Chains A and B, each alone.
Chain A
Amino acid sequence: SAVISQKPSRDICQRGTSLTIQCQVDSQVTMMFWYRQQPGQSLTLIATANQGSEATYESGFVIDKFPISRPNLTFSTLTVSNMSPEDSSIYLCSVVDRGYGYTFGSGTRLTVV
C-alpha cells in the first residue's frame, strides 16, 4: 500500500497564527483527503484535495480557514489559519490507493495555546 509521510508530527502554536501541514505520498494517487480528529471524537472529513483545482470542502469547513493545495498527484498541504484553541486536534491526510484501499498518514497533533 501507499506510504504517507506527514509533517510535522506535532506542534504547539500561538493563537492567531497559521500552521501548514504537509502530506507526501510515495506513489501517485487519485484521491487525497484531509480529516480532523478532535479530542475524544471521531474522524471528520475536512475536504477532498483535488489535483490542479480547488479543494471540495465539507459542511462546516471553509477555504479561508483551511486552505488546501495539491500541486501534483503525490503531495498536498493543509493550512490551519488564524488558529484558536478550538482548532487543537489531530489532523490526518488519507489517500485512496489502488482502488479501495484507504491509507492514513501518522497525523499531526496540533495544540493551540
Chain B
Amino acid sequence: DQQVKQNSPSLSVQEGRISILNCDYTNSMFDYFLWYKKYPAEGPTFLISISSIKDKNEDGRFTVFLNKSAKHLSLHIVPSQPGDSAVYFCAATLHLSSGSARQLTFGSGTQLTVLP
C-alpha cells in the first residue's frame, strides 16, 4: 500500500511561470512533510518542509501548502528556472511522543522540466 503518492510522473513548465507539484497521502498519522529535489547521480537535497500544525510554509521561491482534510500537499515554485529541472520527491513521517524522528516515506517522484 503506497502511503505517499505523486500521481504526475512528469511536468513541463515555461521558465518564469509557476510550477505546481502535487502529493497525496493516506496515513493520517503523518505529521511532518518534506520536499526533496534530486539530480541524477546525486542524493536528494532537502528543499522545504511543513509541520501538520501549519497549512503553508514559504522559503524564497518555494512554498509548500498542506490541506490536512484532503490529505494533500503541494509545492509551488515561482518563478521557475531551468536549474529547477530535476526529480522532486515528497516525503512524510510521524514523530514519536518522545520527540525522536522516524524514517521517511517517499512518493514516487515527479520529473520537472523547466523550458527556457
A interface, CB within 8 angstroms of B: 1, 4, 6, 9-10, 30-31, 33, 41-45, 48, 92, 94, 96, 99-107, 109
A100 in contact with B49 (CB, 8 Å): yes
- Is chain A's interface secondary structure helix, strand, loop, or mixed overall? strand
Total A-B residue contacts, Cβ distance less than 8 Å: 54
Cβ–Cβ contact A102 & B46, under 8 A: yes
* Closest CB pairs A-B (n = 8): A104-B43, A96-B101, A43-B106, A42-B108, A42-B106, A106-B43, A107-B43, A45-B103
Q: Name the one of A1, A101, A106 contacting B42, with C-beta atoms under 8 angstroms.
A: A106
Given contacts A41-B108, A100-B32, contact A105 B103 (CB under 8 A): no
A9 to B104, CA, bound (A): 22
The answer, yes or no, to whether B29 is at the interface (CB within 8 Å) is: no
Q: Given A92-B43, A101-B46, are A45 and B104 also a contact pair (CB < 8 Å)?
A: yes
Most chain B C-beta atoms within 10 Å of own C-beta, residue among A10, A99, A100, A101 = A100
> What residues on B are CB-neighbors of A48 within 8 Å?
103
**Residues in A whose Cβ lies below 8 Å from that of B53:** none
Please determine whether B34 and A102 come into contact, CB atoms closer than 8 angstroms.
yes
The residues of A that contact B89 with a CB separation of less than 8 Å are 42-43
B44, B93, B100: the one within 8 Å of A43 (CB) = B44
